[in-house]
């Protein structure tokens, strides 16, 4: 089950199947995508994703899967990857609060989120060798980029799970909090962003995407920043930000372009 509430320009999306550690089947993936579509249509200025119960998301729900006729390409390529791409391209800052198991597709949900705060109880890695399977949903790319090839393969071969503190220290995610504080910290960050300069945030989000996916060099990046800054000059928030600075007051951003 996927729950969605929208309050004060912030969407709160909750994976709510704690009895199965929020593992996702085909129906849950469709519901999750629908929640993001609804939030986008509502014009929210920030989104929070979290899981109910003992885990953020233990990955794919394989409780009823028969490996002899499992359509892995249909599930991963046809359902999971398009969902992750939609999440990554969401037109507002996105935040995730992660605790307990964050594995497989669950790890992919975090990779597709802009800012990830993890609990010290989080468990992150690749235990799939015990299933005769491999890491998916972007896990290899994240680990190799942040950990390097040797540490990535050590995690995969050993099946060892990193704690939240180790994951943050290794540069995988943003900040670590005690388990009873991570949701509140994440929601506060999202609520601050929802009152910020949305168009400027989206410009930075696109620049970060281009640096990651298009491998921009230094001067290509500088040129892209120049274009983004010039485009922001035409936004209401840019004008408000300058006016507030010059008038020595706090800006009131609307997020309009």
Chunked into runs of 10 residues, the chain (257 residues) has average pLDDT values of 96 97 95 98 97 95 81 90 97 97 96 98 89 89 96 94 96 97 98 95 96 94 95 92 93 84
pLDDT of residue 64: 82
pLDDT of residue 199: 94
How far the first Cα of the chain sits from its last, in Å, is 35
| Distances 176 to 106, 167, 253 between C-alpha atoms, Å | 18, 9, 29
Integer Cα distance of 213 and 193 in angstroms = 24
CB atoms within 10 A of CB 188: 13
Which residues, at least 6 apart from 63, have a Cβ–Cβ distance to it below 8 Å?
20, 23
pLDDT of residue 70: 79
pLDDT of residue 14: 98
- Structure tokens, 165: 């503190």
pLDDT of residue 72: 85
Which residues, at least 6 apart from 107, have a Cβ–Cβ distance to it below 8 Å?
59, 124, 135, 137, 138, 139, 142
pLDDT of residue 103: 94
pTM of the model: 0.94
Give the containing element (helix H, strand E) for 15.
strand 10-15
pLDDT of residue 133: 86
Integer Cα distance of 113 and 116 in angstroms = 7
pLDDT of residue 102: 96
| Distances 25 to 29, 246, 251 between C-alpha atoms, Å | 6, 53, 44
């Amino acid at each position: 089950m996927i729950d969605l509430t929208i309050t004060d320009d912030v969407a709160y999306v909750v994976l709510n199947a704690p009895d199965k550690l929020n593992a996702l089947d085909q129906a849950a993936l469709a519901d999750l995508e629908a929640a993001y579509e609804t939030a986008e249509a509502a014009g929210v200025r920030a989104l929070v994703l979290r899981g109910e119960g003992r885990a953020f998301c233990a990955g794919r729900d394989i409780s009823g899967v028969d490996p002899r006729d499992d359509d892995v390409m249909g599930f991963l390529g046809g359902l999971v990857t398009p969902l992750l791409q939609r999440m990554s391209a969401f037109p507002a800052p996105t935040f995730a609060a992660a605790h307990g198991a964050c594995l497989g597709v669950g790890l992919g949900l975090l990779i597709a989120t802009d800012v990830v705060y993890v609990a010290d109880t989080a468990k992150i890695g690749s235990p799939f060798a015990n299933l005769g399977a491999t890491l998916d949903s972007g896990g290899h790319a994240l680990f190799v980029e942040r950990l390097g090839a040797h540490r990535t393969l050590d995690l995969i071969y050993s099946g060892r799970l990193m704690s939240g503190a180790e994951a943050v220290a290794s540069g995988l995610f943003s900040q670590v909090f005690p388990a009873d504080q991570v949701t509140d910290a994440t929601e506060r960050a999202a609520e601050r962003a929802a009152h910020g300069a949305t168009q400027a945030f989206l410009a930075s989000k696109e620049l970060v995407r281009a640096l990651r996916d298009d491998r921009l060099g230094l001067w290509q990046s500088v040129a892209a920043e120049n274009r983004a800054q010039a485009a922001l000059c035409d936004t209401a928030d840019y004008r408000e930000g300058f006016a507030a600075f010059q008038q020595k007051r706090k800006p009131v951003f609307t997020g309009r372009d």
